[in-house]
């Protein structure tokens, strides 16, 4: 009874549910935007790297290494609190979106690149020999294979990065953790935090089921 009262108090639930639902939406749309743009940017970078021009590859590799080495939270704090001192003010949600997108892109670039270089050279050559341009081979022969072979790591990375939207609480984005946290502070009850955990489950559990489905669907013998 005490337990339920502390973690699932009906009155507190009712009071904070609307705010939390709004927060769920914020978490959701930032996550979706991050995943879409992170996958696209990562694939684009891997594609550019495939041209094997040193002035292109070198910055891409540096970018991927830095973004994977630095904690995303540090990057966010630097952008959010550092940039205003040079006169650039970015919206809190945009800083969150931007950093997570760049970090995801860095991982996606590395995942794609590893597969692209491990595909048999004959795949590139078969495309080229049939008159496809380099870009056409990349788009129609190499990328689809890289994508299918990497659905599990890509999905995992996407889920992990989506959960990092919680870092937004540190810079004031009104996502789930930040809303639940202030509700907890105001009410003195742990119930909003339980609600936050449930909210994450509701978002990410179906996402995980979907990823299982996609993995099975696109599995093919190589």
Partner 1 sequence: MTAAQPLPTLEITALEKRFGETQVLRSIDLKVQNGELVFVIGPSGSGKSTMLRCCNRLEEPTSGAIHVSGKPMLGIPRKELDRMRLQVGMVFQGFFLYPHLTALKNVTLAQRKALKRPRAEAEARALEMLDKVGLKHKADAMPSELSGGQQQRVAIARALALDPKVMLFDEPTSALDPELVGSVLKVMRDLREGGMTMIVVSHEMQFAREAADRVVFMDGGVIVEEGPPEEIFGNPKSDRLKAFLSRVSGEAA
Q: How far is the CB of 50 from partner 1 (least distance, A)?
A: 15
Residues 136-165 that bind partner 1 (CB under 8 A): 136, 140-141, 144-145, 148
If phi > 0 it is left, if psi is from -120 to 50 it is alpha, else beta; for residue 53 that is beta
Among residues 17, 53, 59, 130, the one that binds partner 1 under rule CB under 8 A: 130
Q: By C-alpha distance, which of 188, 163, 187 is closest to 176? A: 163
φ/ψ of residue 87, rounded to 5: 85, 10
Residues 76-95 that bind partner 1 (CB under 8 A): none
Among residues 3, 131, 188, 216, the one that binds partner 1 under rule CB under 8 A: 131
Could you say whether residue 216 binds partner 1 (CB under 8 A)? no
Q: How far is the CB of 46 from partner 1 (least distance, A)?
A: 17
Site string for partner 1, 99-128 (x = CB under 8 A): ---------------------x-xx-xxxx
Comparing CB distances to partner 1, the nearer of 133 and 160 is: 133
Q: By C-alpha distance, which of 88, 90, 82 is closest to 173? A: 90
CA distances to 75, 84, 147 from 45, rounded to whole Å, are 20, 29, 14
Q: How far is the CB of 121 from partner 1 (least distance, A)?
A: 9
Q: How far is the CB of 127 from partner 1 (least distance, A)?
A: 8
148 Cβ neighbours under 8 A, 6+ residues apart: 218, 220
Q: Would you say 113 and 150 are in contact if contact means Cβ atoms under 8 Å apart?
A: no
Q: Distance (Å, rounded) from C-alpha 190 to C-alpha 188?
A: 7
Could you say whether residue 197 binds partner 1 (CB under 8 A)? no
**Residue ranges in contact with partner 1 by CB under 8 A:** 120, 122-123, 125-134, 136, 140-141, 144-145, 148, 220-222
């Amino acid at each position: 009874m005490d337990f339920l009262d502390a973690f699932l108090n009906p009155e507190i639930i009712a009071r904070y549910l609307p705010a939390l639902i709004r927060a769920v939406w914020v978490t959701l749309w930032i996550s979706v935007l991050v995943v879409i743009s992170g996958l696209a940017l990562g694939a684009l970078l891997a594609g550019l790297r495939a041209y094997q021009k040193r002035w292109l590859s070198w910055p891409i590799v540096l970018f991927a290494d830095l973004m994977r080495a630095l904690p995303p939270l540090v990057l966010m704090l630097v952008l959010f609190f550092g940039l205003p001192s040079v006169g650039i003010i970015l919206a809190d949600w945009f800083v969150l979106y931007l950093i997570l997108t760049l970090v995801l892109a860095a991982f996606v670039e590395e995942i794609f690149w590893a597969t692209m270089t491990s595909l048999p050279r004959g795949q590139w050559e078969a495309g080229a020999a049939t008159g496809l341009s380099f870009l056409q081979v990349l788009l129609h022969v190499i990328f689809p294979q890289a994508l299918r072979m990497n659905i599990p790591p890509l999905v995992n990375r996407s889920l992990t990065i989506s959960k990092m939207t919680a870092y937004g609480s540190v810079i004031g984005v009104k996502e789930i953790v930040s809303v639940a946290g202030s509700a907890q502070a105001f009410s003195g009850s742990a119930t909003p935090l339980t609600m936050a955990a449930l909210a994450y489950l509701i978002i990410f559990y179906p996402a995980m089921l979907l990823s299982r489905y996609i993995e099975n669907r696109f599995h093919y013998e190589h």
